[in-house]
Amino acid sequence: MTDSPAAPSAPSSSDSRPVAVVTGASSGIGAATARTLAAQGYHVVLGARRVDRVAALAAEIGGTGRQLDVTDEDSVTAFVDGLDTVSVLVNNAGGAKGLDPVATADLDDWRWMWETNVIGTLRVTKALLPALEASGDGLIVTITSIAALEAYDNGAGYTSAKHAQGVLHRTLRFELLGKPIRLTEIAPGMVETDFSLVRFDGDQERADAVYQGLTPMVADDVAEVIGFVASRPPHVNLDLIVLKPRDQASARRNVKTG
């Protein structure tokens, strides 16, 4: 944290930098991506529910921090206000709740995962499509997961939500053909962030155990790939990038499980 002045609540009209919007930028992959894109010359608009965190990071990287709850229509409407031209949208807000078999599934956990990962991505993407098109070279990056590509025991709430989020994103790739908007799905395996802490409802010991005995990726590993995607020329569309730690071969197999 620096002692930079507070970030503005909107990009100023005299700021000639292209605008990049990152959802879920208060921690983990979203925060790292905001830093990477800012270093590449973007004015980054950061959104998350913990507005103090996005405001602090925005001040540090010369961006804009705004409160955002992707599950709330009014919040999304307020978040996109004044964003008329957007070059990059990173749909990152999301996560998992619980690790239960279908037989004992917690419906509230499922609703949280579907509302955040699926409907949240839909809401923000819909709201920013005109601004992405208006940029003349828009890019939508959606952070799904290897859970969008395979199923695993006790994970159906998350894997089904990530599959749905992936299909939403892949459908847009077809529907936007002919428009100046590129679409990239990023599907990471294990990344050490607050992801497991959120999944296990704040149980630090259980979260730490996920990453013990192997070397997971860190948020910067994913952010660097997003920076690479955003720096390709307009005619090149990286459709799907799957990245995993060397120690993980699939959602179900890693060096610990054998």
User: Which residues are known catalytic residues?
Assistant: 158
Residue 214 CA to residue 210 CA, distance in Å, equals 9
98 and 137 Cβ atoms separated by less than 8 Å: no
In the complex with ligand NAP, the residue whose CB is nearer, 13 or 212, is 212
Per-residue contact flags (x/-) with ligand NAP for residues 120 to 149, judged by CB under 6 A? x----------------------x-x----
Backbone angles phi, psi at 194, to 5 degrees: -85, 5
Q: Is 11 helix (H, G, I), strand (E, B) or coil?
A: coil
Q: Is 116 in the site for ligand NAP (CB under 6 A)?
A: yes
Question: How big is the chain, counted in residues?
Answer: 258
Q: Report the nearest approach of ligand NAP to the CB of residue 44 (Å).
A: 14
User: Any idea which residue has 């993407």 for tokens?
Assistant: 125
Stretch that binds ligand NAP, among 4-12, 34-42, 127-135, 193-201 (CB under 6 A): 193-201
Stretch that binds ligand NAP, among 48-56, 166-174, 231-239, 249-257 (CB under 6 A): 48-56
145 and 191 Cβ atoms separated by less than 8 Å: no
Residue 191 CA to residue 96 CA, distance in Å, equals 13
Per-residue contact flags (x/-) with ligand NAP for residues 62 to 101, judged by CB under 6 A? ------xxxx--------------------xxxx------
- Binding ligand NAP (rule: CB under 6 A), the pick from 59, 129, 172, 190 is 190
Q: Is 1 helix (H, G, I), strand (E, B) or coil?
A: coil
Q: Is 50 in the site for ligand NAP (CB under 6 A)?
A: yes
90 and 23 Cβ atoms separated by less than 8 Å: yes
Q: Is 188 in the site for ligand NAP (CB under 6 A)?
A: yes
Q: Which helix (H) or strand (E) holds 185?
A: strand 181-188
Q: Which amino acid is at 193?
A: T
Please spell the DSSP secondary structure of 107-134, one letter per residue. Answer: HHHHHHHIIIIIIHHHHHHHHHHHHHHH
Q: Is 27 in the site for ligand NAP (CB under 6 A)?
A: yes
Q: Report the nearest approach of ligand NAP to the CB of residue 156 (Å).
A: 15
Stretch that binds ligand NAP, among 46-54, 131-139, 240-248, 250-258 (CB under 6 A): 46-54
Residue 120 CA to residue 51 CA, distance in Å, equals 17
In the complex with ligand NAP, the residue whose CB is nearer, 87 or 142, is 142
Q: Is 40 in the site for ligand NAP (CB under 6 A)?
A: no
In the complex with ligand NAP, the residue whose CB is nearer, 64 or 193, is 193
Q: Report the nearest approach of ligand NAP to the CB of residue 103 (Å).
A: 24
| Closest listed residue to residue 258, CA positions, set 214, 206, 222 | 214
Query: Where along the sequence are the contacts to ligand NAP (CB under 6 A)?
Result: 23-30, 48-50, 68-71, 92-95, 116, 120, 143, 145, 188, 190-191, 193-195, 198, 219
